[in-house]
Each structure stands twice: as C-alpha cells, then as structure tokens.
Structure 1
C-alpha cells in the first residue's frame, strides 16, 4: 500500500511538472511581420482581401510565437482556453488594421487570430493572458516600424531587387536588433521579401537579439514587390 501511494505521488508530481513545462518552458518569442505584397504575389497562397477592402501597403502582424533555444517550439498548449473575442473587444479595430487576414475566403480576421492564440498564444499564458498577448503584438508593430526603416534606407516596395545585407542593416538601424528574413517566390519563381522575424524575451517585455534563427535562407538579392 505504501509503495502504491508513493507511486501515485510520483505520478502526480510528474504530471504537474509536465504542465508547468508546457506553460512556462519556452525561452523567447519570435515576433513575425509579413509583407502583404509577397503574400499575394505567390502561387503558395490564395489572397483575399478582408470585407473592409485592401489593407494598407505596410507590414502587418503574422504572430507572436514562443520558441525554444534548440529551434523547436511548443504549440496548442491549453485547449481549455480558446480564443474569446470579447476579451479583446477594445483591440479589434486596431487588429483589423494591423493584423488583417489575407487568406481565402475573405474574413474580418477572427479565424486568423483564433488560430494564432490557440496554437501559439496559449503556450505563453503564464506571462501573457489573451488580452496581453494581442496587445503586446500590436505594440511591437508600432514600435518596430519595419517599412519606415526600409524606406529611410532607400529600400522601397517598388518591385525592384535589393541586397539582403542592406535590408538587414536597414531594419537593424531602425529597430536596434538583427532581423531574420524569410523569403517566398513570386509567380515567376523570383525570391522576394516575405516575412521579418525579431525576438522578444520570455517575459514578453523587451526586444532582444535572437538567440537562434529559423532554418532556411534567401539569396543575396531579393525583390521587394509592390502592393
């Protein structure tokens, strides 16, 4: 009987530690913004504007993703905490402007935001509740001003090609931190600027130099398409 009780206690402790690891066991966040012109000018995606019309020609939020230093990431951590639009009612107009969905069919963004919260946000709820998660991402977008950093360096969304190192240097000059650039291919197979990754510490408070970058790389020259 004594051994059964000890075994049960050990099992409960392991379960508790597993839960604790899910809720707290990440090392940093990727904050990811995407260029809508590259999303829409690619055979990889179907592009549909929201019911309100074409979004602004500016970088928009893709997500705020908890990650591990080894390159992996937690996901779908808490099925008991689904997306609840009422918790972010004061942020909706800001989100529709700065976190629009370009996926088809056309939508106001709720399914996109729900996906981001349930897959990624629930893994950060030990430091960011649902409202704080979305509010933090919106604040980071306002803080980083990616397009402004690029255009100030003469890198414009005009369909031209620009040096990858020049793009990185311009974003670092504007934000203070080294970005990671993700490319995709346009309908003609040319590499183009698609997403910009910056990193946030695990408290969700401060931008940091990324401890690790995703795999993959772009060419030395990439297009910056119009939108």
Structure 2
C-alpha cells in the first residue's frame, strides 16, 4: 500500500509582518488518530479526525479549450472533502470566506507557493485569484481539521495558507501526466485509449486504486484521486482509497487531446464549478 505523507511547511514571515512566528496546528497524538471514514465509534478529537468530510479528493484538470497550464502537465482543480458515502457539503463557513488569496499568501511569505499556483492552478473562465477564492470558500471551509480552533497561537487566515500549500504538495505527489506517459498514454489528436488503460496507469501512483475519470462525451477533462486521512488535513497521512463516484468516460475510444497553445486566448463556457456526478 502506498501512503502519501505531506511535509509541514513552516513559513518564516517577513520582518514587516506583525502576525508573528508560525505556530501551526495542534499536534495529533498517533495513539488517538483514526483513519477517516473508518471509525467505529464517535471521534473524540475533531481536530485530528476529518468529519463529516472524511473522504478527501485531489482533483485535476486537463483543459484544452482553451488550453490551460503547461503542455506536459495536468493542472489543479482543488481538494474537496466528501462525506464517506459520496455526498458532500459546500460553503461551510461564510465567516471565513476570502476574496484575495494572492495577498494572503504574500503576507504569509508564501511566494514560492504563489508562483507555483500561477503556473499549475488556473481557471479557464475567470482570474486565478477568483478561482482560488472559490476553492477555499466552497471546499476549504468544509475541512474541519483546519478550523482556527485547531491552531496554537492562531493568526488570521493561517489555515488558508496551509490549505493551499497542502493542495499543491498533494498535487506534486500525483504526477498524472508522467504516470500516463510511462504507460504509453500520451496526448494526441488522433489516438484514443480505453478506460482500463487509464485506470491501470493511474493506479500505479494511487496505491492500486482506481480514480474517477470524467469526460465531456468521449474527451477526458478531469480526474479525482480519493484519500482517507489519519490526523488533520495538513500534517496527517493520506491513504489512497477507492472512489465514491463512477467515471463518466466510455470504456473505450477516450480522447486525450493535445493542448493547443494557440487557444489560450479563448474563453470557455464550462465553469470550474463542481459538477454533480451521475
């Protein structure tokens, strides 16, 4: 079994920043950690147990109309907490909604994180800052283990920076493009592939588990890696898990088109917003 263990990133704040030194989430005792979605009794410490959103999905885009991001990489959609039955909540805490993620990350000294997001976390129909705010407001506020009450010496929006850092760290551990390429699945405007071929290739980086692969008709555009987590969503251990929703792609004839650099100026009608699954 493959385990993804994210590394905590301790950020040294700039001298002009009056927030103070980074303190971080309260440490979870290994003896008290329970794998999310696997508890048999009520968890006593909800800062160390993801609930009710115990299934965490790392979601990636393959956008080609317009083409978004590097031609040799998928891009980030987000990290979504789902209930353990495939249902989910959204917009869970309006009091912690933000509108300017870029400024928050700059004020926290997370410039390298911001630069990475500017390349690999992009929207096809709005500004990056609007997209990031949507992902935090809609999904990040639903992750209970990064609630401000779970922090030591909490400062405003600390959990926002931690959320984006964790999403990026998890994305880096799931190099979809390379996994597919190593299996002979490369972008093409002529070739097609089977769902089984995709699942076999991606299972190699996801503990042998399938992913949820989404298509517009027969063209792949998105996928979802499912995880359960020991501990909190930032310092915890992510364990690959079986998907809780079905793929929408056909069993064969799946198109995986090239990204066309000439189409970057187009504006797509498809929103980044989450689609209800069939």
Per the normalisation by structure 1, the TM-score is 0.74
Q: Tell me whether 1:110 sits opposite 2:125 in the alignment.
A: no
* Residue 119 of structure 2: aligned partner: 97
> 1:135-174 alignment to 2 at 5 Å?
135-159=165-189, 160-174=191-205
CA deviation after TM superposition for structure 1 residue 102, in Å: 1.4
Aligned partners of 1:216 and 1:141: how far apart in 2? 20
More helix by share: 1
Per the normalisation by structure 2, the TM-score is 0.61
CA deviation after TM superposition for structure 1 residue 70, in Å: 1.7
Q: Tell me whether 1:33 sits opposite 2:60 in the alignment.
A: yes
* Residue 200 of structure 1: aligned partner: 227
* Residue 91 of structure 2: aligned partner: 76
Aligned 8 A contact 1:155 1:162 in 2: yes
- The structure with the larger Rg is 1
Runs of 4+ in 1 over 4 A off after TM superposition: none
Aligned partners of 1:215 and 1:180: how far apart in 2? 6
CA deviation after TM superposition for structure 1 residue 194, in Å: 1.4
Return the match for 1:61 from 55, 62, 76.
76
Deviations 1:10-43 (A, max 9, x none): xxxxxxxxxx8xx942212111001122xx1xxx
Aligned partners of 1:206 and 1:161: how far apart in 2? 36
Partner SS state of residue 173, structure 2 = helix
Aligned 8 A contact 1:198 1:207 in 2: no
Aligned partners of 2:243 and 2:69: how far apart in 1? 31
Deviations 1:162-206 (A, max 9, x none): 111011100111343421211113xxxxx0111111123243233
Matched residue count: 185
CA spacing shift, 1:225–1:146, aligned 2, 3 Å: same
Partner SS state of residue 126, structure 1 = helix
Deviations 1:24-73 (A, max 9, x none): 42212111001122xx1xxxxxx4x7xxxx62122001010000012111
CA spacing shift, 1:150–1:211, aligned 2, 3 Å: closer
Output the aligned Cα RMSD. 2.1
Structure 2 residues without counterparts, runs of 5 or longer: 1-45, 148-158, 260-278
* Residue 120 of structure 1: aligned partner: 139
Partner SS state of residue 36, structure 1 = coil
Return the match for 1:183 from 215, 227, 249.
215
Aligned partners of 1:66 and 1:36: how far apart in 2? 23
Partner SS state of residue 174, structure 1 = coil
Aligned partners of 2:146 and 2:80: how far apart in 1? 13
CA spacing shift, 1:62–1:127, aligned 2, 3 Å: same
